[in-house]
Amino acid sequence: MTIQTRSAPRPGAADFEHFGVSYRRVLAATNTSPRTIMTYLEGRYLLAGYASVEGWPSDPRAITREQVETYMSGLREHHKPAVADNRVRALKSFY
């Protein structure tokens, strides 16, 4: 039996939604707690919304490091440290 560890993106499906499904699967497979999975998926969802508002690509692979750093800086400016830290951890695990 062959286990496929990485699937090729479907045409037109390389967006946050597509990667959210595989991200959830990876988190569950690594025995991540359900609450952490929910928090991390929320962090990914919030980045997707911010990217949309800013006119960034919908494909998370096309978002630059500088763009992610800009988003993370904004988190730290506008949220309490614990909230910002959770969302930054979510992004680090996603990327």
| DSSP string for residues in 55-71 | T--SSGGGS-HHHHHHH
Yes or no: say if 39 and 45 are a contact pair by the CB < 8 Å rule: no
Query: Where do the domains of the chain lie?
Result: 16-94
> By the 8 A CB rule, do 43 and 87 touch?
yes
Q: Give dist(CA 92, CA 4) in Å, integer.
A: 24
**What does the pLDDT look like over 1-56, one tens digit per residue?**
444 444 444 434 468 888 888 899 999 999 999 999 999 999 889 999 999 999 99
Q: What is the CA radius of gyration of the chain?
A: 14
Instruction: Please state which CATH number belongs to domain 16-94.
Output: 1.10.150
pTM of structure? 0.75
As a whole number, the mean pLDDT across the chain is 84
- pLDDT band for position 73 (50/70/90)? very high
